[in-house]
Structure 1
Amino acid sequence: MEKLWKYCLSIGLVVWVVSCGENSTVKTAAVQDKALAEQVYEEGSHLLQGSPESMTRIEKAIALDTTYAEAIRELSVAYLKRGMPHKWKPIFDKAVEHDAATWQPWRGYLYLWFYRDYKKAIADFNASDTLTPNFIDQPQGHSVDYWRGIAYLGLKDYNSSIAYWNRHIQKETAETGEDWVEINAFLYRGIAHYESGDTQKALLDFDKVIGLFKQSADAKYYKAKVLFEREDYDAAEALVNDAITDYNGGFYNQRNYVETLRQLYPVDLKTLKESILRQK
């Protein structure tokens, strides 16, 4: 009986050793595949985004490491920019699945601008607060507070929009100074104040934009609207003329690929100017 017990122990030890060896081999192979996937991905980083060569190299990287979230995300974006969101979303969702802390706020940014789905965008931005509680995520170079300010403005929830603009502006001012705050934060907060009926606070923000940047068709357009509503027609006309000059010089709020929120067009400036002239 004692010999049988020792024999069983020996067999168990052999099985354990073999199993550990197999697990170690699998782990080593996974590490090697991940390193090779990263190498393949980085070697093609100079290729034009969305080109066949770039897409092929990204797919090769993902085949080597199916959890490679950065490569999965990059693969999806080419479809989105081609206007194929039905292909973009399932791929991007996989990137979020493998690395939510990094890519969920980025998905919110894309919901915001490409889908105009403000509620889903806000949900992803809110989730980022839970995923990274020790810092504020900054997809595409701006804080999630900045993006939430825009999303709530899109929903016409002015109180929430203004609250997030306040938080964003206060934090940026405290860290780097007011001169370094993104100018559109003041512009959009001003628009939120204007649309909510608080023209006095709106003017403060539009004047802030003009004071910091000098040339802003949007800020001058909205300030001219306020002055027009107050029947200060001469000042409104002068300002809308300045706004037209700034617009023609390219100094207006715009985005690549998509229309920005509250996009300003020449017809808006023309309509406002005609309305002012009719009252003079």
Structure 2
Amino acid sequence: MTKNFIILLTFFFINCQSQTSNDETAVDKKARQAAIVQEHVYDCADKMNYTVMMKEYQNCIDAGIKKDSTIAYLWQQKAMPYFKARKYEVGMQYINKAVKYDAARWQPYRAFIKCIFAKTYQEAIIDFEDCKKKFGNNYEMDHSYDFYLALCHLQLCNYLEAEKLLTNYVLEMKNRNGESWVHPTALFYYGISLYEQRKWNEAITVFDRALALYPNFSDVKFYKGICSGRLGNIGEYNRLIKESEEDYKRGYTINEDNTVYEMYPYQKEWK
């Protein structure tokens, strides 16, 4: 057996052994990463109140990241409390890491954060449009990407574009499951897109659809009241504004989960 043949055989054996090891790692990767998440998120970070124990919470997450920095969920969990503390730039650097390792799961979430939390609407539009190209017009936090694009356009005073997006979103929900399944918040913003274009009667028609589904929706009553006043119906204006304040103080406002952390566009807060 020649020296060169022995070297070649040794190289082939080492290469095969390495390939087997890599294959085993790939098979076991999901279970290994799940164990890290269990230990450092569910059994550690989740036991900390990050509002008053941010350092301890982050220590749990950092220990998991030290074991495997490619776990996207760890980066998202590291970012999340900073967003809720309104430290958006701090959180964004970590959610960017989550997107790097799992864009399908976390890029739409990042775009949502830009829209509702950080309020960087141009950046949110870029992110959501990219998500639509990659993943289609999917859903994030109970709404389609087009819904959030419409909110961004409302905040950038692009009212006609917002109307187009919301018209399609509302129609899609109605066609799929009927009027009763149209989201009242979507109807609220559809009405707002008309309100901002001074289409008072059209806006009232849409606001009435929202109230048929959510009769105590204080924000809808407020803007419907303004539309009524602009049309000269002062009695209706006074009634709706009074009801809006009463309903708000009873807790009937935009019922999105994240309103506990952030005011949504056009949400009317009564003191």
Q: TM-score range by the shorter chain?
A: 0.7 to 0.9
Report what 1:204 is aligned to. Answer: 205
State the aligned residue count: 261
Q: Which residue does the alignment assign to 1:47? A: 47
Residue 37 of structure 1 contacts residue 60 of structure 1 at CA under 8 Å; is this kept in 2? no
Q: Is the 8 A contact 1:37 1:62 kept in 2?
A: no
> Structure 2 matches for 1:25-104, cutoff 5 A?
25-29=21-25, 32=28, 35-43=31-39, 44-45=41-42, 46-48=46-48, 50=50, 51=53, 52=55, 54-104=57-107
More deviation, 249-258/157-166: 249-258
How much has 1:69 moved relative to structure 2? 0.7
| Superimposed CA distance per residue, residues 96-128 of structure 1 (whole angstroms, 9 cap, x where no aligned partner) | 111111111111000112211111111111111
What is the alpha-carbon root mean square deviation over aligned residues? Answer: 2.2
Picking from 228, 239, 264, the partner of 1:260 is 264
Distance 2:207 2:265 in 1: 16
CA contact (8 A) 2:138 2:145 kept: yes
The 3-state SS of whatever aligns with 1:93 is: helix
Kept after mapping to 2: 8 A contact 1:49/1:78 = no
Does structure 2 retain, via aligned residues, the 8 Å contact 1:37–1:64? no
Q: 1:80 to 1:266 in 2, by over 3 A?
A: closer
Shift of 1:10: 4.3
Instruction: For residue 244 of structure 1, report the CA deviation from its aligned partner.
Output: 2.2
How has the CA–CA distance of structure 1 residues 234 and 124 changed in structure 2, closer, same or farther, with 3 Å as cutoff?
same
**Range moving further from structure 2, 76-85 or 46-55:** 46-55
Per the alignment, residue 185 of structure 1 pairs with 186
Kindly report structure 1 stretches of 4+ aligned residues shifted beyond 6 Å. Answer: none
From the superposition, tell whether residues 68 and 206 of structure 1 become closer, same or farther in structure 2 (CA, over 3 Å): same
CA contact (8 A) 1:40 1:57 kept: no
What are structure 2's unaligned runs of at least 5 residues?
none
| Structure 1 counterpart of 2:15 | 19
TM superposition shift of 1:56: 3.1
TM-score normalised according to structure 1 size:
0.84
| Separation (CA, whole Å) in 1 of partners of 2:224 and 2:200 | 9
Partner of 1:195: 196
Percent identity for Structure 1 against Structure 2: 24
What secondary structure, in the 3-state scheme, does the structure 2 residue paired with 1:262 have?
coil
Match of 2:246 in 1: 245
Which sits farther off after the overlay, 53-62 or 81-90? 53-62
How far, CA to CA, are the matches of 2:241 and 2:87 in structure 1? 39
Task: Sort the Cα spacing of 1:36 and 1:106 in 2 relative to 1 into closer, same or farther, 3 A.
Answer: same
The answer to whether the 8 Å contact 1:34/1:65 transfers is no
Say which of 103, 106, 110 aligns to 2:109: 106
Deviation, structure 1 residue 48: 4.3
Q: Of the two, which has the highest radius of gyration? A: 1
Aligned counterparts of 2:204 and 2:220: Cα–Cα separation in 1: 9
* AA of the residue aligned to 1:143: S
Q: 2:135 aligns with which of 132, 136, 139?
A: 132
CA offsets per residue over residues 212-271 of structure 1, 9 Å max, x none?
A: 21112211111111121122212222222222221221112261211211121326xxxx
Helix, strand or coil at the partner of 2:47:
coil
**Deviations, residues 13-39 of structure 1 (Å, cap 9, x unaligned):** 320221221243245346556533321
- TM-score, scaled to structure 2: 0.87
Counterpart of 1:65, as a letter, is: D
C-alpha separation between the residues in 2 aligned to 1:90 and 1:114?
15
Aligned 8 A contact 2:200 2:231 in 1: no
Q: Deviations over 1:181-231 (max 9, x none)?
A: 221111111011011121121111111112221112211111111121122
Tell me, yes or no, if the aligned pair for 1:106 and 1:139 is still in contact at 8 Å. Answer: yes
